[in-house]
C-alpha cells in the first residue's frame, strides 16, 4: 500500500487545516480554540465518540471498525500546543498571536492525524477501535501525563499507543525509528549558593559565591567525562549563571542553573546524585552552603522493540524499504509521549520534514508535502495493528 489515494487527493485541504492552526497558535494547556477545531472536525467526520477536556484540554476521537464497538483498541497521538517564539517565516498564514508560533510542527502533527481520522471513519477497514489522541502541553507542560492522570487509559482500554514527530534534515517521504531509547529524559536544576559578601578589595573576609559557582560549573563537567559510561549518552549543560550587581562588591549569593539529558534511567539518577554531591562539597570547602532545586521532568522515551519493528514494516509499505531507517539515531531532546510509553507498549516515529529550519527556531515551518505520507502511515498502522500482522 503506497500513499493513500484519498489522502493524497485531500492533501491541499488537510494543508489548509494545518495553515489555519498555524495562524492561531496557542500555548500549553490554553489550547481552547485548537481543541474546539479538532473536536468539530472529529464530529464532522463521524467519530463514534468525541471526548473533550481530558487532561484539561485534550481531545480524543473514538472510531469503531467494521465489527462495531469491542475488540482491541490502539491509540494514535498528536500534540497541539505551540511555543512562545516570535515568528519570522513571512508566510501568508503566519501567526496572528504575537509572540506565539508553531515552531515545532504540532500544527502539522494535528492535521495529519485529523486527515487519518477522516479516512478511518470513511473506510472502517479494521476490526476493533482506534482512539485518535490530541494532546495539549507537550512543550514543557507534561500534557501527556495530565491525560493519563485524568483517566485516559481507564476510560479507554487502549492496548498500544503510537506517536510521530517531524524531523528537519530528514528528507520528505522518509521515516526513522529505533528500538529502545529514542528521546532523552529532561531534568532541570538550580543551585543557589549562599556565601558571605563584602568589598571586592577585601576578598579574604568573604565566602565568594562567584568563585564557588565557577568551581561548581567546572566540577559538574567531570560527571560526563569521568563518571558516566562513555558508551551511554549523557549531557550536563550549565546554561545560566546569575550573580553580582556592582564591580566593587562581592555578592552574598549566586545562582547556577542548567539541564541534564540522558538516554539511560540509571545515568539520569547518576547525574542528579553527582551534581548534588559536587555542589555541596565545593560549597562546604569554601565555608558556604547551597540549596538545590531539582525538576525531574520528562522520562526517557523508550520504544518497545517489537512495536518499533512493526512501525518500520508499516512505513516500508508506504514509502519503500530504502526510505525507512529502522535504527535511526536518537535525539537528546525530550518528549512527554514518554509517559504514555511507560504505561503502554508502543513506539515513537520520526517523519521527514525536509531541508527546513530547525525545530524551535523563528523561521521553522512544517512541510505540507509531508502530510500525505504521515496521514497514510497512521491509516495503515491502524489497519495493520487491528488486523493480522
DSSP-derived secondary structure for 35-58: HHHHHHHHHHHT-SEEEEEETTTE
Instruction: Give tens-digit pLDDT for 39-58.
Output: 999 999 999 999 999 999 99
* Longest Cα–Cα distance in the chain: 83
Instruction: Give tens-digit pLDDT for 4-22.
Output: 889 999 999 999 999 999 9
Report the distance separating Cα 142 and Cα 237, nearest Å.
Answer: 22
Instruction: Give tens-digit pLDDT for 175-226.
Output: 999 999 999 999 999 999 999 999 999 999 999 999 999 999 999 999 999 9
Q: Is the pLDDT of residue 308 over 80?
A: yes
Question: Residue 8: its pLDDT value, please?
Answer: 94
> 318 is written with which cell numbers?
508506504
Question: Residue 2: its pLDDT value, please?
Answer: 87
- Decide which of 144 and 389 is more confident: 144
Which residues 6+ apart lie within 8 Å of 90 measured at CB?
A: none
Q: Is the pLDDT of residue 280 over 80?
A: yes
Question: Residue 325: its pLDDT value, please?
Answer: 98
Say if CB 239 and CB 258 are below 8 A apart. yes
Question: Residue 388: its pLDDT value, please?
Answer: 53
Which residues 6+ apart lie within 8 Å of 85 measured at CB?
A: 99, 100, 101, 103, 360, 361, 362
**Phi/psi of residue 13, nearest 5 degrees:** -65, -45
- Decide which of 41 and 387 is more confident: 41
Say if CB 251 and CB 241 are below 8 A apart. no
- Residue ranges and CATH numbers for the domains of the chain are 5-183+300-385 (3.40.630.10), 185-296 (3.30.70.360)
Report the distance separating Cα 58 and Cα 77, nearest Å.
Answer: 11
Which pTM was predicted? 0.94
Instruction: Give tens-digit pLDDT for 109-133.
Output: 999 999 999 999 999 999 999 999 9
Percentage of the chain modeled with pLDDT above 90 = 96
Instruction: Give tens-digit pLDDT for 170-188.
Output: 999 999 999 999 999 999 9
Name the nearest CA neighbour of 373 among 309, 301, 323.
323
Please give the helix or strand (H or E) that residue 234 lies within, else none.
strand 234-243
Which residues 6+ apart lie within 8 Å of 273 measured at CB?
A: none
Question: Residue 389: its pLDDT value, please?
Answer: 43
Question: Residue 69: its pLDDT value, please?
Answer: 85
Q: For residue 387, what pLDDT band results from cuts at 50, 70 and 90?
A: confident
Burial tier of 46 (Cβ tally within 10 Å: 0-12, 13-18, 19+): middle
Amino acid at each position: 500500500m503506497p500513499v493513500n489515494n484519498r489522502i493524497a487527493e485531500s492533501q491541499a485541504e488537510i494543508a489548509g487545516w494545518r495553515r489555519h492552526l498555524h495562524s492561531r497558535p496557542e500555548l500549553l494547556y490554553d489550547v481552547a480554540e485548537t481543541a474546539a477545531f479538532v473536536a468539530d472536525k472529529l464530529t464532522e467526520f463521524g467519530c463514534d465518540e468525541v471526548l473533550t477536556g481530558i487532561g484539561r484540554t485534550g481531545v480524543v476521537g473514538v472510531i469503531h471498525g467494521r465489527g462495531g464497538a469491542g475488540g482491541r483498541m490502539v491509540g494514535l497521538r498528536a500534540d497541539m500546543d505551540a511555543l512562545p517564539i516570535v515568528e519570522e517565516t513571512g508566510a501568508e498564514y503566519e501567526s496572528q498571536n504575537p509572540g506565539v508560533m508553531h515552531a515545532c510542527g504540532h500544527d502539522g502533527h494535528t492535521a495529519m492525524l485529523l486527515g487519518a481520522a477522516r479516512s478511518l471513519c470513511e473506510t472502517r477497514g479494521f476490526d476493533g477501535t482506534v482512539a485518535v489522541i490530541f494532546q495539549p502541553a507537550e512543550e514543557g507542560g507534561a500534557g501527556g501525563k495530565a491525560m493519563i492522570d485524568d483517566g485516559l487509559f481507564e476510560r479507554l482500554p487502549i492496548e498500544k499507543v503510537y506517536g510521530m514527530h517531524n524531523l528537519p534534515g530528514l528528507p520528505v517521504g522518509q521515516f526513522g525509528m529505533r528500538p529502545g531509547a529514542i528521546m532523552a529524559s529532561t531534568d532541570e536544576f538550580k543551585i543557589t549558593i549562599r556565601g558571605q559578601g563584602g568589598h571586592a578589595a577585601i576578598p579574604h573576609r568573604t565566602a565568594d559565591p562567584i568563585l564557588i559557582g565557577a568551581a561548581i560549573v567546572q566540577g559538574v563537567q567531570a560527571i560526563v567525562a569521568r563518571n558516566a559510561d562513555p558508551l551511554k549518552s549523557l549531557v550536563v549543560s550549565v546554561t545560566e549563571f546569575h550573580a553580582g550587581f556592582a564591580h566593587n562588591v562581592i555578592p552574598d549569593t549566586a545562582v547556577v542553573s542548567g539541564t541534564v539529558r540522558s538516554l539511560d534511567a540509571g545515568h539520569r539518577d547518576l547525574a542528579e546524585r553527582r551534581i548534588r554531591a559536587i555542589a555541596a562539597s565545593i560549597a562546604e570547602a569554601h565555608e558556604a552552603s547551597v540549596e538545590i532545586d531539582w525538576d525531574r521532568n520528562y522520562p526517557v522515551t523508550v520504544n518497545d522493540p517489537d512495536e518499533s519493528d512493526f512501525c518500520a514494516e508499516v512505513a516500508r509499505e508506504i514509502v519503500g524499504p530504502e526510505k525507512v531507517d529502522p535504527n535511526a539515531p536518537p535525539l537528546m531532546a525530550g518528549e512527554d509521549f514518554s509517559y504514555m510509553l511507560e504505561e503502554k507498549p508502543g513506539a515513537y516515529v520520526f517523519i521527514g520534514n525536509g531541508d527546513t529550519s530547525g525545530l524551535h527556531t523563528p523561521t521553522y515551518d512544517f512541510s505540507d508535502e509531508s502530510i500525505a505520507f504521515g496521514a497514510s502511515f497512521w491509516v495503515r498502522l491502524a489497519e495493520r495493528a487491528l488486523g493480522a500482522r
